[in-house]
A and B are shown apart, each in its own frame.
Chain A
Amino acid sequence: MAHLSPDTFVDLLEGTLEESAVPHLAQCEACRDELSGLRRTWQEAMNTDVPEPSPLFWDHLSARVHEAVAAEPEPRRPWWNAAWAVRWFGLAAAAVAAIALVAFLNRPAFVDQRTAQVGGEAQGTPAASGQRLEVLPPLAEDESVGLLADLASDLDWDAVVEVGLVRPGGADRAVAELSADERVELQRLLTEAGVM
């Protein structure tokens, strides 16, 4: 006759298995004795506390840990997971996109044909040949964009395209492809670059 397995004993002890569901118990005195002995032993173990140390011990332990930890180098997340890395990569991506955008805005062919909407309200702007960015009043008055425009004014548009920062006619996509976080960084960059 096969006796109960360790697995069954543990299930019976933990109450996840009813004794009535194990017919062998009714037939086998050895298994019944084993089960009751294990049950008493476990109950005894459960009722055994760890002696409470002196109340002073806890602060002493904390102080020991504090000292040991103070001698350790500070824990840091891996650089690719660090908040600063995410922020700076985002910032770098936003800066590239912003410069590419401003370079695009400075393109004479673009400036000639643009229209602008400010605050969601469309404002038609007469196209004038040779006009630069500053003739777009609401945007030109924005010092943050103006500063970036100055920074990018020496940037050769063809060179920007050539190095693959943007595709011809694709500055919109360069911005559109930014993630939500990168767009926020772009906003922040434009804001912080001005006198805000």
Chain B
Amino acid sequence: MATSFALTCDGPSGADWNVTVVRQDAPADGPAPVLESLSEAELVAACLEGRPGAFDLIVQRHRRQVYQICYRFMNSHEDASDLSQDVFLRAYRGLKNFKGNAALGTWLHRIAVNTCLNRVAVKAPKSEPIDDADFVDAKGESASEQLLRDERAGRVRAAVAQLPPKQRAALIMRTYEDRSHQEIAQALGTSVGAAKANVFHALQNLKKILGNI
């Protein structure tokens, strides 16, 4: 319950003054909320406060999205796996700079795109065999249907991974991440017009690589 003190005094100079000091009980600190119940901003704050498990939860929530971006860039599970780790490490290092203006997923997405662009600047992606044993199929198709489908999908993924880096980034962001041209422009450091042009040229090149379909 709050208690109020009000002091009213006249100073020697004649200046009237009033000071009010409100005393109230400090709120008792309850147990820390469960990490899973925290919002993204609260989760970031928990990381910065050094709360164990907070960053692990961020990784758990966003690892699939980050991996898929990396995979589309590189068309390789091994590279995507390494890059995903790099993305999260860079995110951890930069967490104190996360302003919370964008969603955490959007921020991580941009880190992923930049990490991939940096990687492809120094290393050409390698194509992955279609029947990689590390993958599982969950669609319940017949073996021949699955083979045809996988073969076609493998060709498309390989074609995407052959595109020039900025076209690749623009196409991936627009097609698979549903990012606006504005967001693509920001991520690539270009104008909106240039971002749209990158999407167009990516599709044009993809069409050429894949031939008539």
Q: Which positions in A face B, CB cutoff 8 Å?
A: 6-7, 9-10, 13, 37-38, 40-42, 44-46, 48-55, 57-58, 61-62, 64-66, 68-69, 72, 74-78, 83, 101, 109-110, 113-120, 122, 138-139, 142, 168-173, 175, 186-188, 190-192, 196
Would you call A75 and B203 a contact (CB within 8 A)? no
Would you call A65 and B9 a contact (CB within 8 A)? no
Kindly identify, within residues 4 to 25 of chain B, every residue whose CB is under 8 Å from any CB belonging to chain A: 4-13, 15, 17-19, 21-25
Kindly identify, within residues 146 to 185 of chain B, every residue whose CB is under 8 Å from any CB belonging to chain A: 150, 152-153, 156-157, 160, 171, 175-176, 181
Given A6-B201, A62-B63, A76-B48, answer yes or no on A48-B193 (Cβ-Cβ < 8 Å): no
Least Cβ distance of B159 to chain A in Å? 8
Least Cβ distance of B205 to chain A in Å? 10
Least Cβ distance of B3 to chain A in Å? 7
Chain B residues touching A, range:
35 or more
Give the contacting residue for B207; candidates A38, A188, A192; CB below 8 A: A38
Would you call A191 and B26 a contact (CB within 8 A)? yes
Partner-binding segment picked from B80-88, B104-112, B114-122: B80-88
| Count of inter-chain pairs, beta carbons less than 8 A | 183
Q: State A186–B23 Cα separation when bound (angstroms).
A: 9
Least Cβ distance of B40 to chain A in Å? 16
Would you call B11 and A120 a contact (CB within 8 A)? no
Would you call B63 and A41 a contact (CB within 8 A)? no
Interface status of B56 (Cβ within 8 A of chain A): yes
Ordered by A's residue number, 9 sampled pairs between the chains whose C-beta atoms are within 8 Å are A37-B212, A38-B207, A45-B156, A53-B135, A53-B136, A65-B85, A78-B96, A109-B12, A113-B10
Would you call A38 and B63 a contact (CB within 8 A)? no
Q: State A6–B204 Cα separation when bound (angstroms).
A: 10
Closest partner residue, chain B, to A9 (CB atom): B200
Which residues of B have CB within 8 Å of A52? Answer: 135-138
Give the contacting residue for B55; candidates A61, A69, A170, A171; CB below 8 A: A69
Give the contacting residue for B85; candidates A7, A61, A138; CB below 8 A: A61
Would you call A117 and B200 a contact (CB within 8 A)? no
Which residues of B have CB within 8 Å of A40? Answer: 213
Kindly identify, within residues 41 to 80 of chain B, every residue whose CB is under 8 Å from any CB belonging to chain A: 47-50, 55-56, 59-60, 63-64, 67-68, 71-72, 77
Closest partner residue, chain B, to A10 (CB atom): B196
Q: Which positions in B face A, CB cutoff 8 Å?
A: 3-13, 15, 17-19, 21-26, 47-50, 55-56, 59-60, 63-64, 67-68, 71-72, 77, 81, 84-85, 88-89, 92-96, 132, 134-138, 150, 152-153, 156-157, 160, 171, 175-176, 181, 193, 196-197, 199-201, 203-204, 206-207, 210, 212-213
Which residues of A have CB within 8 Å of B132? Answer: 51
Give the contacting residue for B7; candidates A41, A139, A188; CB below 8 A: A139
Q: State A106–B114 Cα separation when bound (angstroms).
A: 63
Would you call B50 and A54 a contact (CB within 8 A)? no
Given A37-B207, A172-B18, A186-B21, answer yes or no on A49-B11 (Cβ-Cβ < 8 Å): no
Least Cβ distance of A54 to chain B in Å? 6
Would you call B85 and A68 a contact (CB within 8 A)? yes
Which residues of A have CB within 8 Å of B175? Answer: 42, 45-46
Would you call B207 and A57 a contact (CB within 8 A)? no
Would you call B77 and A53 a contact (CB within 8 A)? yes
Closest partner residue, chain B, to A117 (CB atom): B6
Q: State A57–B150 Cα separation when bound (angstroms).
A: 20
Would you call A62 and B6 a contact (CB within 8 A)? no
Least Cβ distance of B54 to chain A in Å? 11
Which residues of A have CB within 8 Å of B85? Answer: 61, 64-65, 68
Q: State A143–B183 Cα separation when bound (angstroms).
A: 59
